[in-house]
Amino acid sequence: MSKQSQTSRKTVKDIAKAKNSTPLVMLTAYDAPMAEVMDPHVDMILVGDSLGMVVHGLPSTVGVTMEMMILHGQAVMRGSEQAFVVVDMPFGSYETSEDQAFLNAARIMKETGCQAVKIESGAYAARQIAHLVERGIPVMGHIGLRPQAVNVDGGFRAKGRTDSERDIVLEEARATAEAGAFAIVVEGVAEDLAAEITKQVSCPTIGIGASASCDGQVLVAQDMLGLFDWAPKFVRHYADLRTDMDKAFAQYAADVRSREFPGKTETYSLRKPAPKQP
């Protein structure tokens, strides 16, 4: 029996019940070991297209492909048991038409076994969200700072800090919720705007750089673990793994060069044959 069949995962209904209740906990994961460690502690795992930058060293998420998302989604599903797993739809996989969005979303769900997909939902994406939901695909929206729009925005910058931008973000939120999204990631907006969005939409909001006013929070795991020498303002470091890893690699290198590693305990010895019985 597979790991996934032994344990019941959280469902869309479980996520929906968290509105105005105990905040939802969400982190990103891109591989099986990370997913396995965080799985008992989180409600949701996001296989984000941030993997393009975090894992593959790309300058933005724009270069991420369907194949990359599926490969990492499969790994996370193998490593987790109870968390609700959401996989990002990469740039160019849903914008053209409702049919394009459905075919690519269906492929992600069929090939990974995930529970939902996420779409960066400008107002134009409401049609795609409704089309997917009507056909049995749960959709998480993503409004405010949308990383896939980095080339239009000229960089990664907070949204909704002027009256005109505020109206746009509010409209994105309303359109996304009304189209049937079961939850909405709200990224890089001011606290009062995040609070207003959370009050106006019926589905849970998941904040990232959007204050504790939201119904839950998500962070890139590598950011909160301190694996990079820089992190966005909204990240709190819960560990300093970059320093720990640097020390470990330096010690390993020193032990190899001094022939301290491998030692006797890490080395196989010749097995002596058992004495013959008389």
pLDDT per position as a tens digit, 193-230: 999 999 999 999 999 999 999 999 999 999 999 999 99
Q: Is 187 an annotated catalytic residue?
A: yes
Residue 164 has pLDDT above 80, yes or no: no
Give SS3 for 130.
helix
Average pLDDT estimate for 165-192: 94
Q: Which of 18-27, 51-60, 119-128, 253-262 has the lowest mean pLDDT?
A: 119-128
| Separation CA 128–CA 200 (nearest Å) | 21
Place 274 in a pLDDT band, splitting at 50, 70 and 90: confident
Task: Please tell me whether 31 is known to bind a ligand.
Answer: no
**HEC readout, 152-208:** HHCCCCCECCCHHHHHHHHHHHHHHHHCCCCEEEEECECHHHHHHHHHHCCCCEEEE
- Closest among 62, 67, 15 to 43, alpha carbons compared: 15
pLDDT at residue 209 in the model: 94
Residue 153 has pLDDT above 70, yes or no: no
Instruction: Specify the pLDDT at position 157.
Output: 58
pLDDT of residue 1: 40
Q: What is the pLDDT of residues 223-265, one digit of tens each?
A: 999 999 999 899 999 999 999 999 999 999 999 999 999 999 9
Helical segments of 80-179, H only:
98-112, 126-134, 150-153, 163-178
> 187, 191, 196, 260: which one is catalytic?
187
Beta-sheet strands, E only, within the chain:
24-28, 44-47, 84-88, 116-120, 139-144, 183-187, 205-208, 216-219
Q: Is the pLDDT of residue 150 over 60?
A: no
Mean pLDDT of the chain, nearest integer: 92
Confidence of residue 2 (pLDDT cuts 50, 70, 90): very low
Lowest mean pLDDT among 7-16, 67-76, 243-252: 7-16
Sign of the CA dihedral with 26 first, then 32, 37, and 41 last = positive
- The residues with which 116 forms a beta bridge, in sequence order, are 86
- Judge whether 50 is annotated as a binding position: yes
CA nearest neighbour of 89 among 121, 59, 131, 130:
121
Q: Is the pLDDT of residue 159 over 80?
A: no
Closest residue by Cα to residue 192 from 209, 211, 164: 211
**Residue 126 pLDDT > 70:** yes
184, 141 contact by CB (below 8 A): yes
How large is the average pLDDT for residues 81-90?
98
At residue 277, the pLDDT reads 78
Half-sphere exposure of residue 80: CA atoms within 13 angstroms, side-chain side: 35
**pLDDT above 90: residue 146:** no
229 is known to lie in a ligand binding site: no
Q: Which domains can be identified in the chain, with CATH numbers?
A: 3-224 (3.20.20.60)
**Per-residue model confidence (pLDDT) at position 123:** 78
Q: Phi/psi at 4 (nearest 5 deg)?
A: -65, -30
